[in-house]
Structure 1
Amino acid sequence: MAQVSTEVPGDERGTLLAFVEAQRTALREAAEGLTEEQAASRPSVSELSLSGLLKHAAECELNWLRMAQQRPNERGRDAESWGDAFRLVEGESVAQVLGFWEEVAQETAAFIAAVPSLDDSFPLPPAPWFPADAKVSMRWLLLHLVEEFARHAGHADIVRESIDGTRAMG
């Protein structure tokens, strides 16, 4: 649930950023107190792990941010490396992924604060799942991040409960 804060402006930008952060927090909290091994485990029939969900969400946010900035994504994935977005690879840890994600989150907030209007738009790349020549607004971007993170926070809740019985809502 998004918390009302006196530190975040109550305008539309602040409200949307607060909802994005609430869903980031739900994902992060799902992995709290676990070992690296537990966070990497896949205790259900799904291929998802908590550490993989964290990494995916961080890289997903970076990808959308770079599209909005109309800059190349330095962590872009191709068909061969796509699966590595859902698991930690050599040298990666939950703490490292969380640190990276925090940097991305700060960059997202600064970028959104600097855009003249949430109505400003950017083009979507050619892809079978996007309409040809489509553009989306900064507002759409923030709402999409809420949707993306909320979906994966639900996945994370199920994975965590499968690991040790911990429930996000009591």
Structure 2
Amino acid sequence: MVTHVATETRGDERGALLAFLEEQRGGIRRALLGLTEEQARSRPSASELSLGGLLKHVAEVEQSWIARARQEPPAVPRDASNFHESFQPAEGETVASQLAYWERVAAGTEEFIRAAPSLDDTFPLPPDPWFPPEGRVSLRWLCLHLIRETARHAGHADIIRESLDGRTAFELVALARA
């Protein structure tokens, strides 16, 4: 678990953005506390989502956006033909292995954002139809997008976990602190 992200101090915008992102990551990690691999892969709600699948997805998405900002290829290329696989743990992928991967991704995100000359620096958006042609976004936008993406899935994780065993986010925070 990444614990080195500092909270906002004296208007440190980067620290604030990274702290908010880490807070949302924590929601997903807490949702996995105490579960078996089978429970993490199960889909107890009407959706096709599992907690293990959400974990894999958010780690891949974060890594791919940071790679895009660095103008490098993502570690796992995804397109319309295989995007669904980002939500499905593969054979041999465990919660522990995915958490370790996400921790490395998170450390890379922090290093990249902290080292950037400015949060106003931009990079090109991919040529996907939902983005404007030849669009560019700032590193600030990237941080906010990662917060939004992770928060959305942290909410999904809360619902899935409560569907599994009735544990709520409030109870899981207390369990994590114990």
Provide the TM-score with structure 2 as the length reference: 0.89
Are 2:8 and 2:19, in contact at CA under 8 Å, matched by a contact in 1? no
CA distance in 2 between counterparts of 1:54 and 1:6 reads 20
Q: Name the residue aligned to 2:152.
A: 151
Q: Name the residue aligned to 1:78.
A: 79
Q: Name the residue aligned to 2:22.
A: 21
SS of 1:128's equivalent?
Answer: coil
CA distance in 2 between counterparts of 1:79 and 1:13 reads 33
Cα pair distance change 1:81/1:6, threshold 3 Å: closer
Deviation at 1:77, TM superposition (A): 1.7
Provide, for residues 10-61 of structure 1, a one-character-per-residue CA deviation record: whole Å limited to 9, x for no partner: 2000000000000001111101100000010000100000000000000000
Amino acid at match of 1:95: A
SS of 1:42's equivalent?
Answer: coil
1:134 aligns with 2:135: yes
Count of aligned pairs between the two proteins = 166
SS of 2:169's equivalent?
Answer: coil
Deviation at 1:155, TM superposition (A): 0.4
Are 2:44 and 2:163, in contact at CA under 8 Å, matched by a contact in 1? yes
CA distance in 2 between counterparts of 1:70 and 1:83 reads 24
Q: Name the residue aligned to 2:175.
A: none
The 5-angstrom pairing of residues 1-170 of structure 1 reads 7-8=6-7, 10=9, 11-170=12-171
Cα pair distance change 1:6/1:103, threshold 3 Å: closer
Amino acid at match of 2:97: Q
Amino acid at match of 1:53: L
SS of 1:136's equivalent?
Answer: strand
Deviation at 1:78, TM superposition (A): 3.3
5+ residue gaps, structure 2, are 172-178
Deviation at 1:76, TM superposition (A): 1.2
CA distance in 1 between counterparts of 2:46 and 2:38 reads 17
Cα pair distance change 1:6/1:124, threshold 3 Å: closer
CA distance in 1 between counterparts of 2:138 and 2:54 reads 26
CA distance in 1 between counterparts of 2:148 and 2:61 reads 12
Deviation at 1:8, TM superposition (A): 4.2
Which range moves more in the overlay, 149-158 or 69-78? Answer: 69-78
CA distance in 2 between counterparts of 1:74 and 1:146 reads 20
Cα pair distance change 1:6/1:140, threshold 3 Å: closer
Deviation at 1:9, TM superposition (A): 5.2
Provide the TM-score with structure 1 as the length reference: 0.94
5+ residue gaps, structure 1, are none
Which range moves more in the overlay, 5-14 or 139-148? Answer: 5-14
Are 2:5 and 2:18, in contact at CA under 8 Å, matched by a contact in 1? no
